[in-house]
Amino acid sequence: MTRANNFISTDTPSLPNGSGAAAVLSAGIGCFAVAALAYGGDKSALVKSHLTFYKPTGPLSGVTTVGILLWLLTWTILEWRWRNKTIAMGRTSAVALVLLGLSLALTFPPGVDLF
Amino acid sequence: MSITVRSLWTLIHGMGFGALYLLACSGAIVELYRFTTSSIPSEPTPGQQRFLKIYLIAMVLLAWAAVLTGAYAIYPWYRAAPPPAPVDLSMFPQRLLMSNPATTGWHSLGMEWKEHVAWFAPISITMVAFVFIRYGRDLKNHRPLRIALLSFTLVSFLAAGIAGFFGAMLNKSAPVQGGRVIQLSRGQEK
């Protein structure tokens, strides 16, 4: 049997899904962090002033910098803990997609004004 | 025929990085959809796989270039505060929009939404590219993971679409202008 045939006949994953689950969940968390920080900056003058890292861009600079750092930090931690594990991917994806949906709602200005 | 430096940067941001990203999204969605909906995806050749990896990396670069030029080059010109004395607001797009009730919405809804939602695109597509590169052909054995990738790519497309639509409309209502004038060609009398 050739090497190619060996590959085709394999039905079981050769890589555990932990690394993929870590990337998916952390992306959901990262988007949610950006949205939550934007919401915080919109509702509180104190948060807004603390998030102004670069004056010409205003609080958007802090919202996105902190959001991206949180995303990368979460991704690093989850990757380190899950990379060799098999994770319940359905549940992990569902949590990530709910976070993504909430992020979309939190950045939509009429939605923000409801809370 | 001439263009100002600020208009040129706006073009690079919107028509260069943003529009190219949106175009690329449609290709990625079709490819991931094909790959996701079949229970046993067809085996991509190494050449096809390498092409898709390069394609996704190009999308990641375009998405980050679009949000970074938007936030750190164009947005400061857009939100610049005019001096207290009466001044021509055409050089201050945010103030120009907010000075007229008929155009306020383009800022309070359009820009307020666009400036945040756009960042979901690079975050999502970076994750999609990472997972695709890491798993490669082994993704055929991870259907829930493929569905998650497709969902995030769709949201990335939606986010980039919202940002692109409002970017175009904002630039139509109150264009970012000013800076050095670049002469593209000299008109000739007929």
A93 has a pLDDT exceeding 80: yes
A17 has a pLDDT exceeding 70: yes
Q: Which of the residues B104, B127, B130, B166 would you substitute to probe the A interface, choosing the one with the greatest number of A C-beta atoms within 10 Å?
A: B127
Neighboring chain B residues of A26 at a CB cutoff of 8 Å:
127
- Please tell me the least confidently modeled range out of A50-64, B42-56, B153-167: B42-56
Are B155 and A104 a contacting pair, CB within 8 Å? yes
What's the confidence (pLDDT) of residue A108? Answer: 94
Does residue B154 belong to the interface with chain A, where contact is any CB pair within 8 Å? no
**What separation in angstroms does the CA of B67 have from each of A78, A89, B48, B49, B73?**
26, 30, 29, 27, 10
B159 has a pLDDT exceeding 80: yes
Does residue B116 belong to the interface with chain A, where contact is any CB pair within 8 Å? yes
Predicted confidence (pLDDT) per residue in B14-47, tens digit: 999 999 999 999 999 998 887 776 665 566 778 8
| % of residues, chain A, pLDDT over 90 | 82
| % of residues, chain B, pLDDT over 90 | 69
Neighboring chain A residues of B71 at a CB cutoff of 8 Å:
57, 60-61, 64
Q: What's the CA gap between A38 and B111, in Å, rounded?
A: 13
Q: How confident is the model at residue A1 (pLDDT cuts 50, 70, 90)?
A: very low
Is the CB of A100 less than 8 angstroms away from the CB of B108? no
Q: Which letter, b or e, does each residue of B153-174 get, where b requires 16 or more Cβ atoms within 10 Å of its Cβ?
A: bbbbbbbbebbbebbeebbebb
Whether the CA torsion A75, A77, A78, A81 is positive or negative: it is: positive
Is the CB of A20 less than 8 angstroms away from the CB of B76? no
Mean pLDDT in chain B?
91
- Helix (H) or strand (E) holding B183, with range, is strand B181-183
What's the confidence (pLDDT) of residue B190? Answer: 57
**What separation in angstroms does the CA of A112 have from each of A12, A37, A93?**
45, 12, 25
Q: How many CB pairs under 8 A join A and B?
A: 112
| % of residues, chain B, pLDDT over 70 | 93
Are B18 and B59 a contacting pair, CB within 8 Å? no
Length of chain B: 190
A50 has a pLDDT exceeding 90: yes
Is the CB of B135 less than 8 angstroms away from the CB of A11? no
- Looking at chain A, the number of H-run helices and the number of E-run strands are 6, 0
* Range among A109-113, B79-83, B100-104 rated most confident: B100-104
| % of residues, chain A, pLDDT over 70 | 88
Biggest distance spanned by C-alpha atoms of chain B: 68
A4 has a pLDDT exceeding 90: no
**DSSP conformation class of A33:** H
Average pLDDT over every residue of B164-188: 89
A5 has a pLDDT exceeding 90: no
Neighboring chain A residues of B120 at a CB cutoff of 8 Å:
31, 34, 100, 103-104
Find the radius of gyration of the CA atoms of chain A.
19
Average pLDDT over every residue of B128-152: 91
Does residue B55 belong to the interface with chain A, where contact is any CB pair within 8 Å? no
What's the confidence (pLDDT) of residue B39? Answer: 60
Closest-CA residue in chain A for B42?
Answer: A8
Q: What would the two tokens of residue B152 be?
A: 């995030």
Cα angle B68, B58, B128; round to 5: 90
Q: How confident is the model at residue B188 (pLDDT cuts 50, 70, 90)?
A: low
Q: What is the ipTM of this complex?
A: 0.90
Burial class (CB in 10 A: 0-12, 13-18, 19+), B26: exposed
Q: Which of the residues B13, B39, B60, B123 would you substitute to probe the A interface, choosing the one with the greatest number of A C-beta atoms within 10 Å?
A: B123
Q: What would the two tokens of residue B17 be?
A: 């990085």
Does residue B155 belong to the interface with chain A, where contact is any CB pair within 8 Å? yes
Q: What is the pTM assigned to this prediction?
A: 0.91
Are A84 and A20 a contacting pair, CB within 8 Å? no
| Contacts of B127 by beta carbon, 8 Å cutoff, 6+ apart | A23, A24, A26, A27, B152
Are A76 and A29 a contacting pair, CB within 8 Å? no
**What count of other Cβ atoms lies within 10 Å of the Cβ of residue B95?**
18
Are B94 and B78 a contacting pair, CB within 8 Å? yes
Predicted confidence (pLDDT) per residue in B98-136, tens digit: 999 999 999 999 999 999 999 999 999 999 999 999 998
Question: If DSSP codes are grouped into helix, strand and coil, which group holds residue B4?
Answer: strand
